[in-house]
């Protein structure tokens, strides 16, 4: 995993929050939460463009306004009770195939668009009612969950600069931990790492195939190889080959 991918993971959690906030009811807190979050994401983007994937940028643009990700997209009438006769002509209902409109109820519910086979059994009417109520309940639950999320949303309490440097530090600690673990597995001692100072070298990790360059990664003090984020260095190369063949 590169540092960009590591930072991207954090940005993705922010965008997931954005998506949920954009589904919640529009109130003062929600409006503020969205603008703080979008502002924070913009600052992160200015500092680290390379960590933002195109699809993430599309989502940020799409969900940056309150109410921009509404759960109820279709016209819907309220929850229905009873069996046949509960459908009303000219009203909209929902099924797993989309929204339909009742155009006649006699001699059986007729709908537009015609997604159900013509059928005049009670089961047919029951089925549509059940579907309608089930999907309506699902939407209601989703909406309530988005509202609860918005109500409990905690604003990011860190500047973009501080967050990037914190993530960079955590990333290097993660690599160091992976490297220690890697050496433990291969029965080699850990002697520490060194920042690379020689001419630029670009290679790839034999273990996970990540592209490595010595301007971004440190070297192992024992073998002098660049340490990959998966923890691998030259200390495990020979034994890795022996165990994998």
Based on the shown chain and the rule CB under 5 A, indicate whether residue 230 belongs to the binding site for Zn ion: yes
DSSP secondary-structure letter at 201?
-
The answer to whether 175 contacts Zn ion (rule: CB under 5 A) is no
Nearest to 173 by CA among 189, 157, 193, 144: 193
Of 21, 160, 175, 232, the one binding Zn ion by CB under 5 A: 232
Burial of 211 (C-beta count, 10 Å sphere; 0-12/13-18/19+): exposed
Find the binder of Zn ion among 208, 215, 238, 239 (CB under 5 A).
208
| Position among 171, 205, 215, 217 found at the interface with Zn ion (CB under 5 A) | 205
Closest distance of CB 224 from Zn ion, Å: 7
Counting residues that bind Zn ion (by CB under 5 A) gives: 13
By beta-carbon proximity to Zn ion, the closer residue of 47 and 222 is: 222
Q: Which residues of 225-245 are buried (b: 16+ CB within 10 A; e: fewer)?
A: bbbbbbbbbbbbeeebeeeee
In the block, tokens 């529009």 appear at 26
Q: Decide: is 26 part of the binding site for Zn ion (CB under 5 A).
A: no
7 is a site residue for Zn ion (CB under 5 A): no
Q: Is residue 14 within 8 Å of 223, Cβ to Cβ?
A: no
The residue ranges that bind Zn ion (CB under 5 A) are 205, 207-208, 210, 220, 222-223, 228, 230, 232-235
């Amino acid at each position: 995993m590169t540092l960009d991918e590591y930072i991207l993971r954090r940005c993705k959690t922010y965008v997931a929050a954005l998506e949920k906030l954009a589904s919640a009811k529009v109130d003062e807190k929600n409006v503020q939460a969205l603008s703080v979050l979008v502002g924070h994401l913009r600052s992160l983007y200015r500092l680290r463009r390379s960590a933002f994937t195109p699809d993430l940028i599309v989502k940020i643009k799409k969900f940056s306004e309150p109410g921009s990700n509404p759960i109820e997209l279709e016209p819907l009438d309220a929850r229905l009770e009873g069996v046949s006769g509960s459908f009303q002509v000219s009203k909209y209902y929902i099924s797993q195939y989309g929204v339909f409109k009742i155009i006649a109820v006699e001699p059986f519910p007729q709908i537009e668009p015609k997604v159900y086979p013509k059928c005049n059994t009670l089961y047919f009417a029951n089925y549509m009612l059940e579907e309608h109520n089930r999907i309506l309940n699902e939407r209601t639950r989703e909406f309530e969950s988005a509202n609860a999320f918005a109500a409990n949303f905690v604003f990011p309490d860190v500047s973009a600069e501080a967050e990037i440097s914190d993530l960079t530090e955590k990333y290097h600690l993660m690599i160091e931990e992976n490297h220690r673990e890697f050496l433990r597995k291969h029965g080699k001692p850990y002697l520490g790492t060194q920042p690379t100072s020689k001419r630029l070298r670009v290679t790839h990790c034999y273990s996970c195939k990540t592209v490595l360059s010595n301007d971004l990664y440190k070297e192992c003090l024992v073998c002098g190889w660049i340490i990959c984020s998966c923890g691998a260095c030259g200390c495990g190369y020979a034994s890795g080959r022996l165990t994998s063949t």
